[in-house]
Amino acid sequence: MNHWRNYMIWNENAECMGREEKEEMQLALFQQQVKRVYENVPFYKKKFDDAGFHPDDLKTLEDVNKIPFTTKDDLRQAYPFGLFAVSEDDIVEIHSTSGTTGTPVVSGYTQKDIDIWGECTARAIAMADGGKHSKIHNSYGYGLFTGGFGIDHGAKAMGATVIPMSSGNTARQLKIMEDFQSDILTCTPSYAMYLAESLEKEGFDAESISLHAGIFGAEMWTEEMRQSLESKLGITAHNIYGLTEIIGPGVATECKEQCGLHIQEDHFFAEIIDPKTLENLEDGETGELVLTTLTREGMPVIRFRTKDVTALRREKCDCGRTTVRIERITGRSDDMLKIKGVMVYPSQIEAAILQIEGLTANYQIHVSRPKTLDEIEVKVETSPEVFSDEMKKIEEFERRIAKKIQSAIGISVDVTLVEPESLPRSEGKAIRVIDERNFD
């Protein structure tokens, strides 16, 4: 059954490679990479020496677990250029994390790295049925953030037309989308939702917009939010994953089967570990994703602890690609809230909210500890049709939502309904959690 041949695959050699051949290639690249960083980056030389690991010890892929991990703190301490493995003259582009939670992490790219990145995002765009014919409405921010440029490099690599919108100026976004007949939207899922809501509000005719797909990432989102975006915009919504420390968006992307995100395994080696014991976990087991850049020259990163919680799936995908997939990221160990001793991910609360008709994806979680016990309040916006002036109706609705959330996370919450559009909107990343507890 070759029905998968109907799928557009950007690089069939790389994306449909047999497992044995692929693992042989990954081992050779991994050996080369650890040797390069050992010789060129003092940080890795010291780290490997301290751990008693020598590049010659890497004889099979099973030996990978002898190599020490790299953490975000390691990358921060190397600020700005301490982990570059090439001369600064060979770096052609630099990106950086925002640094909102500490010293930023800088990522440097050689021309070859930019080509690799473009190849990965071109594969992503092809998964969304994009190609030379596509007009890509790129509303990821352009700048030090990797979103805008990452998609841009891929669009150009495949000869598509990129419309470099960046985020902001919503009225203009909508007008351009209509006038230029953009067909693929790329941005954060929360901004896609904002654009979708604005389309409705501004009275745009759904027929006048010709989007057929969206590639959304850079923040966590849920299956319910996907359904909501797909129906509001009339698109297929693809999840894309990546991080500045590794390269940017395009490390993994969902094909049309929407059953996990295919990792570009000829460039990135993925493992799942137990975040407490640091032992490797089996396929299908949930844990922390660890990534190694197999081909990057400018700033190779070895066994980077992403803090993203997911699982690997290796069974064959109906699209024909053989690459290993990660499941939708269900939490970040940094985002994880411990409330009354229970682990809670904001994404669980979002999923519960979106199952109730008349609610929007706009919510905010407030955690406090007024006395000795944690309290959690969830503020949720209703849609204009549902919002009521009748106190009794509102209270009833709030109780119903609280019950739904409680069954999702296992602890009781207070729910407050707020007026449509009264919570702060974000045009970049959404701030969903306000934790007012004092842990001193």
Site string for Zn ion, 202-241 (x = CB under 5 A): ----------------------------------------
Token readout for 279 is 């032992």
Selection from 147, 103, 142, 105 nearest residue 124 by Cα: 147
Least distance CB 331 / Zn ion (angstroms) = 23
Cβ closer to Zn ion: 122 or 199? 122
Q: Where are the beta strands (DSSP E) in 311-402?
A: 312-313, 325-326, 331-332, 337-339, 342-344, 359-368, 375-382
Cβ closer to Zn ion: 255 or 359? 255
Cβ closer to Zn ion: 2 or 438? 2
- Cα gap 189→204, rounded to integer Å: 20
Helices vs strands, H then E, count in the chain: 11, 21
Least distance CB 2 / Zn ion (angstroms) = 15
Interacting residues with Zn ion between 37 and 66 (CB under 5 A): none
Cβ closer to Zn ion: 258 or 286? 258
- Total residues contacting Zn ion by CB under 5 A comes to 5
Least distance CB 291 / Zn ion (angstroms) = 20
- Burial of 228: CB neighbours in 10 Å, binned 0-12, 13-18, 19+: buried
- Cα gap 244→150, rounded to integer Å: 10
The answer to whether 383 and 356 are in contact (CB under 8 A) is no
Cβ closer to Zn ion: 259 or 281? 259
Interacting residues with Zn ion between 333 and 362 (CB under 5 A): none
Least distance CB 304 / Zn ion (angstroms) = 25
Cβ closer to Zn ion: 4 or 79? 4
Token readout for 283 is 């396929």
Among positions 27, 126, 319, 405, the unique one binding Zn ion when judged by CB under 5 A: 319
- Cα gap 25→17, rounded to integer Å: 10
Least distance CB 88 / Zn ion (angstroms) = 39
Least distance CB 4 / Zn ion (angstroms) = 8
Pick the stretch among 101-109, 236-244, 293-301, 313-321 that binds Zn ion (CB under 5 A). Answer: 313-321
Beta bridge partners of 252: 241, 263
What strand order describes the sheet that includes 331-332? 268-273, 287-293, 304-310, 331-332
Cβ closer to Zn ion: 153 or 321? 321
Query: Counting contacts by CB under 5 A, is residue 17 touching Zn ion?
Result: no
The answer to whether 413 and 407 are in contact (CB under 8 A) is no
Burial code (b: 16+ CB inside 10 Å, e: under 16) for 277-302 equals eeeebeeeeebbbbbbbbbbbbbbbb
Query: Counting contacts by CB under 5 A, is residue 317 touching Zn ion?
Result: yes
Pick the stretch among 65-73, 90-98, 317-325, 331-339 that binds Zn ion (CB under 5 A). Answer: 317-325
Site string for Zn ion, 363-402 (x = CB under 5 A): ----------------------------------------
Residue 248 zone, left/alpha/beta (φ > 0; ψ -120 to 50; rest): left
Query: Counting contacts by CB under 5 A, is residue 14 touching Zn ion?
Result: no
Cβ closer to Zn ion: 7 or 142? 7
Cβ closer to Zn ion: 151 or 317? 317
Least distance CB 177 / Zn ion (angstroms) = 28
Cβ closer to Zn ion: 263 or 272? 263
Phi and psi angles of residue 18, each rounded to the nearest 5 degrees, phi first:
-65, 155
The answer to whether 86 and 40 are in contact (CB under 8 A) is yes
Beta bridge partners of 242: 249
What letter does residue 261 receive in the DSSP assignment?
E
Phi and psi angles of residue 356, each rounded to the nearest 5 degrees, phi first:
-105, 125
Least distance CB 369 / Zn ion (angstroms) = 45
Least distance CB 34 / Zn ion (angstroms) = 30
Interacting residues with Zn ion between 238 and 277 (CB under 5 A): 255, 257
What letter does residue 62 receive in the DSSP assignment?
G
Least distance CB 261 / Zn ion (angstroms) = 9
Residues contributing to the site for Zn ion (CB under 5 A): 255, 257, 317, 319, 321
